[in-house]
Amino acid sequence: MTDIQAPETQHPSQQAMELIDILWRQDVDLGARREVFDYSHRQKEHELQRRREQEEEKKQQRLREEEKALLAQLQLDEETGEYIPRPLPSALPPPTKQSTVTPLEATQNVNFPEGDDSMSFDECMQLLAETFPLVETVEHTSACLDPAVAPDPSSSSSNHILMSAKEPALPQDSLSPAPVIADQRAPEMEQAWMELWSLPELQHCLNLQMEEPTAYLPTSSPEVQDGNYTFYPMSKSTNVGPNPEDACPPTFINTFEEVFPDMVTPEPMMVNSNLDAEGFCETFYPDPVLCAPESGEAHVMEHKESGTLPELPKKPPLNTMDLHSHSPRDALERCKQEAMPELPDSDSGISQNTSPHASSPEKSVYGDGSFGFSDSEVEELDINPGSAESDYSEMFSLNFQPDDFQQNALMVPHTGQSDQQQDKKPKQHKSKPAEDGGQSDGPFTKDKQKRRSEVRLSRDEQRARALQIPFAVDMIINLPVDDFNELMSKHQLNEAQLALVRDIRRRGKNKVAAQNCRKRKMENIVGLEYELDSLKEEKELLQKEKSQTGSSLRKMKQQLSTLYLEVFSMLRDEEGKRYSPSDYSLQQTTDGSVFLVPRTKKTHVGKSKEHKLASAD
DNA sequence: AGGCGCTGTCATGTC
DNA sequence: ACGACATGACAGCGC
């Protein structure tokens, strides 16, 4: 209950989001108030109404088929499985072509189209609306019956209840011509109700009513008298969401199956017997309505329906796109893409084309929001009026003849050139407004670097084209000097053309040179960085070596000092006294002799040292 | 809006 | 002297 009324508070105020909003909310919005305020909702309801009419028509057809199968099997074409048209009493619709004529059928068949493909959807809808006002009302009423109180449709009491439910509503339904007709149709209607009860969609409706049973009781709900109200249950079935139990509690399903066992088997027989069901749906549902999302049990059940219960998108009946692709499969695909990206496919049962033909090739090529113009092309269009013509053509009054130019350019043998430039040539032609009105033929590239270079090159190409230079720009730039001169000599070019060719060649070569220069510069930078790194590593190594050497030196000095003192400690003078290191020092000559030298008296070091050492030894 | 990087182009110098 | 090439400087463009 709460989730039913919640959407009312969330009534969308954004008109732009109406469609999506309604599609996604209608499954929970069971109240009638919303439709009162929601115009789009009412539109949707109209479509549902129409659909219900068609559904009713199908049910009638099925009924007739069953009768026919029992009474007139001769009409069944054993080879094709189709019923052969029977010329008798009533001109029945081609899908089933039955012979049994009931009052209801008579009223139907009077105006019902012969399944003519030439009949437009709107016409069919109009015809159905005119033909089955009562059926619509009856079905609305039935859809609103509380399944808890709805007995077995096969019982006679069911009819009583149904009719009693229907009758109070009819007089108030100004749109319905109905009561008298309904009474006349009573026997057939009972059978029709049996069929109706077996429809999965009705089951969904009843499921919803179980959630709010009183809301659709025909005697108590004012919405019953409103022809618009019936669409909510149906919508609910279409948008149950990922969790089917949200829409159809298991407890109710069980109860429902017990009460209406026929409903739970949504009749594969219908698919078999009604051989033209799909064609019928294709005829009368050329609209994306077939592709509203659904899931869970609703999905499975309605899948068996094979398109008899198309879903309800809020779309205009026929827009440009609909006219473009008129088949329901196309509409189905479109709708699947638009309305249910995350849901499993909507089934509606109409044989869906599972192969994704997302968009037409034209759309994939051009439909990028840019109307076929790439940024570079737009830029070129902006450039066009200025550079080439103003610089050369206007100056020399040259007429541009792209075909001639192209022919000439193609006649000249090409030397190897970058793909980039090769790809640009057709684009250049496209950029000429006089040539094709700016329509792009090639795919839309987003490589801006490439585009930029293309734009740059296109300037010279445009200039060359403007002056009718009979060579390709890449040739002008990349030919060796001798070949280039030979080429120039072969063609009689005027001064402007020669100047342009020279400029093109100069610019092209300078461009390459600049690229090479920058490349070298970058390589130099990289090389210098690498060299810098190497030098840093070398510096670290040298510093490490230096520190190691220093530590080694210090260690050796310390060892020397220790040894020095040890030697001194062992030296004695004549009196047996030690020499003071502060007064004497040990010195070693080149020949290995060691002398004890007084620090203050170095003049006669020689003898005394030798003496001392000798004495020391 | 300004900075930054990329690219084309021009001017100039060198070979 | 001329052409090719190299390079600094500048402008345009896109991010």
Nucleotide with smallest C1' distance to residue A453 CA = B7
Tokens (6 digits) for A341: 């990206």
**Model pLDDT, residue A581:** 82
Location of structure tokens 């609305």: A140
In the predicted model, is pLDDT for residue A594 greater than 50?
A: yes
Residue-wise DSSP of A222-262: GGGGSTTTTHHHHHHHHT--S-HHHHS-HHHHHHHHHH-HH
C1’ C1 / CA A502, Å: 18
Among A158-162, A222-226, A549-553, top mean pLDDT goes to A549-553
C1’ B13 / CA A514, Å: 15
By CB atoms closer than 10 A (0-12, 13-18, 19+), residue A568 is middle
How many C-alpha atoms does A215 have within 13 Å on its Cβ side? 20
Note the pTM of the prediction, 2 decimals: 0.31
**Model pLDDT, residue A456:** 47
Closest alpha carbon to C1' of B8, residue: A511
DSSP, collapsed to helix, strand or coil, labels residue A101 as coil
Give the separation between CA A146 and CA A207, rounded to whole angstroms: 9
A503 strand C contact, CB < 7 Å: no
C1’ B4 / CA A474, Å: 31
The bases of strand C with some atom under 7 A from any protein CB are 3-9, 12-15
A520 strand C contact, CB < 7 Å: yes
Nucleotide with smallest C1' distance to residue A518 CA = C7
**Model pLDDT, residue A52:** 74
A599 strand C contact, CB < 7 Å: no
C1’ B8 / CA A449, Å: 12
A521 strand C contact, CB < 7 Å: yes
What is the enclosing helix (H) or strand (E) of A596?
Answer: strand A594-598
Give the separation between CA A580 and CA A588, rounded to whole angstroms: 18
Share of chain A above pLDDT 70, in %: 26
**Model pLDDT, residue A43:** 57
Average pLDDT, chain A: 51
Sequence-ordered list of residues with C-beta below 8 angstroms from that of A475, at least 6 positions apart, any chain: A412, A414, A415, A417, A487
- Three-state secondary structure readout of A46-93: HHHHHHHHHHHHHHHHHHHHHHHHHHCHHHECCCCCCECCCCCCCCCC
* CB neighbourhood size of A504 (10 A): 23
- Among residues A417, A396, A393, the alpha carbon closest in space to that of A471 is found at A417
pLDDT in tens, A202-234: 444 444 443 333 333 333 333 333 333 333 333
Give the separation between CA A92 and CA A248, rounded to whole angstroms: 38
Question: What is the bridge-based pairing of β-strands A594-598 and A584-588?
Answer: antiparallel
**Model pLDDT, residue A441:** 34
**Model pLDDT, residue A553:** 97
User: What are the angstrom distances between the C-alpha of A355 and each of A300, A327, A336?
Assistant: 20, 15, 12
Nucleotide with smallest C1' distance to residue A507 CA = B9
In the predicted model, is pLDDT for residue A243 greater than 80?
A: no
C1’ B9 / CA A514, Å: 10
A411 strand C contact, CB < 7 Å: no
C1’ B13 / CA A508, Å: 19
C1’ C15 / CA A387, Å: 27
**Model pLDDT, residue A51:** 76
- For chain A, give the number of residues: 617
